[in-house]
Amino acid sequence: MRGCRLLATVLFSVLTAAAWAAQPGATAKPMPVVASFSVLGDMVAEIGGDHVQLTTIIGLGGDAHSFEPTPEHARALSEARVLVVNGLGFEAWLPRLLASSNFKGLQVVASQGIEPLRLGRGEQAAVQANGNQADHAHGQGGKPGVAGSRHAGDIDPHAWQSLTNGMIYARNIASGLAKADPDNAADYLARANRYIDEMKKLDAEVRQALGQIAKDKRKVVVPHDSLGYFGRDYGIEFIPIMGISSQAEASARNMAAIVKQVRAVGGAAVFLEGSANPKLAEQIARETGAAVGGVLYADTLSEPDQPAGTYLGMFKWNAGQLIYALRPARIGSAASRRDK
Domains of the chain: 31-192 (3.40.50.1980), 211-339 (3.40.50.1980)
- For residue 327, the model assigns a pLDDT of 80
- E strands, 38-185, are 52-58, 82-85, 106-109, 117-118, 155-156
8 A C-beta contact, residue 16 and residue 291: no
CA 330 – CA 213 distance, rounded (Å): 12
Give the C-alpha distances (Å, rounded to integers) separating 189 from 34, 54, 199, 313: 19, 18, 15, 22
pLDDT score recorded for residue 142: 35
194 vs 11 pLDDT, higher one: 194
Lowest mean pLDDT among 12-21, 114-123, 163-172, 197-206: 12-21
Q: What's the whole-number mean pLDDT along residues 229-253? A: 74
Over residues 313-323, the mean pLDDT reads 95
Confidence of residue 138 (pLDDT cuts 50, 70, 90): very low
3-state class percentages of the chain: helix first, strand second, coil last, to nearest 5: 55, 15, 35
Q: Judge whether residue 314 has pLDDT over 80.
A: yes
pTM: 0.78
pLDDT at residue 116 above 90? Answer: yes
Most confident of 81-90, 252-261, 322-331: 81-90
pLDDT tens-digit profile of 22-74? 444 445 899 999 999 999 999 999 999 999 999 999 988 777 777 889 999 99
> Given pLDDT bands bounded at 50, 70 and 90, which one contains residue 339?
very low
For strands 31-37 and 82-85, give the pairing.
parallel
